[in-house]
Structure 1
């Protein structure tokens, strides 16, 4: 039993964990709400269009897209169906794989992404960047890198 207590987080560690999770959830909810109210895109739409916009030829195989954004393939498939009805993306069978599907952002999808990016990036600045000093941002970057490494997540999101 004593061994079990040593491996459990302390009260202070649990407080820090909970504060982190609750703050991240609040930040995400506020960013998602602002994106939805200031553009025609949901947070999921934006995530999909961001990945497609950054992809070579603005196209990804659906399985690659699911892995890239961290969604289950069935969730992605349902979401892509809704986006396709709104003409934000197109899906076509892969030429080299009869079971694969290529997903591409349409012109209207790319336009909606560009239009939605301006207020979204403004919200990121207002709700996140402006809350922290440059030193705090650097510490948060270090923390994110350490967590990604510990979790086995490939590299930083971007270090341009």
Structure 2
């Protein structure tokens, strides 16, 4: 073993393993509800939701990729599925011929409106309602601290919550 490795003590290991378990189980639970009720996976839903909140329900593909933490090839596969379902369409970006805009269609808007209540109920049941108000504040603060290291340029949250992440 490497003697210079700063191994986790028992308390640190326990905290890490609990977080790792949440990171594995929560996406699966969110996917299960969305697939069962809406025939969408979480990335599909999240992409539709981000488009639904954008001005004119339109984003450049690169912006949506940053918001969803997807590579452009992965986003392209997601958009292909959503376009095939009639939820999204691609358009050339008027200001940049090299860029593509993604536009939420009326059918896509209707799908988000239909899917949102069940998704919010699931988020509430699995996370929000499981915590006391002060624990929710702590979760927010802890998440913000971790995001400072994981996303120091605020690429994901700045587009969703505004530049200050509030």
TM-score, structure 1 normalization: 0.89
Instruction: Give the whole-Å Cα distance in 2 for the aligned partners of 1:98 and 1:14.
Output: 50
Contact (CA 8 Å) 2:89, 2:103: kept in 1 or not?
A: yes
Deviation (angstroms), 1:153: 4.7
Q: Deviations over 1:39-77 (max 9, x none)?
A: 232212111111111111110111111111110000001
Instruction: Give the whole-Å Cα distance in 1 for the aligned partners of 2:130 and 2:63.
Output: 34
Contact (CA 8 Å) 1:40, 1:112: kept in 2 or not?
A: no
Instruction: Indicate the RMSD between aligned Cα atoms, in angstroms.
Output: 1.9
Q: How does 1:137-152 map to 2 (within 5 A)?
A: 137-151=136-150, 152=152
* Residue 136 in structure 1 maps to residue 135 in structure 2: yes
Instruction: Give the whole-Å Cα distance in 2 for the aligned partners of 1:91 and 1:28.
Output: 28
Instruction: Give the whole-Å Cα distance in 2 for the aligned partners of 1:83 and 1:67.
Output: 18
* Counterpart position of 2:47: 48
TM-score, structure 2 normalization: 0.86
Aligned residue-pair number? 158
Contact (CA 8 Å) 1:66, 1:72: kept in 2 or not?
A: yes
Unaligned 5+ residue runs, structure 2?
Answer: none
Q: Deviations over 1:73-107 (max 9, x none)?
A: 00001111111111010001112222211001100
Moved over 6 A (4+): none
